[in-house]
Structure 1
């Protein structure tokens, strides 16, 4: 972990949370995202970056759009440039440089930046008696 890079990326991570749609109103974030970004960091450390990005680039059965996390991490690493999760996955697979530490640092900065937002429960659908 590069502490200086993490510190420098925290405000960019805050911007990424808003620009990449993790926070829809700029004030709150579904608290499930905190667990998802922690899971991503663990997946990178324990496995490979390519497999972690591939898994998170697809929403699958997750309760939140975890592909937005991949977009946000790319946004942080590339100083505000946006790409879709699928494009980020292609970029990671084609890159000649070792991106693992950058993604680890970006995930730490993103998790720290979540502290700028109010973490909320997932909204339940109460229309027509559904929960």
Structure 2
């Protein structure tokens, strides 16, 4: 995590393995940011995920297509519930030189779970049908 102006003093990061990430529609890792400084307001936190393990995975410029998606936290406990299935793309950037996926995410008391997932298009090309 990187400090961000206006960010919280303390954050607890819960991480989930590939099995959970796949159930949430992603790959490799999922995470949840929980504000731990006593405030109930959401505040920004800079997050970096090492995606070097995906550099040669799957083909179709897979690493370049990685991004973060946000899902309601209830997706961890009741993934079949209609209220828990929506996915929202999160502005994020993958640096293909140092293999890092970065984003500024809100930390809150309750909130979202963030999942590394692949988009159809990326900086290095597209995996859509032609």
Higher helix share: 1
The TM-score with structure 2 as length reference comes to: 0.30
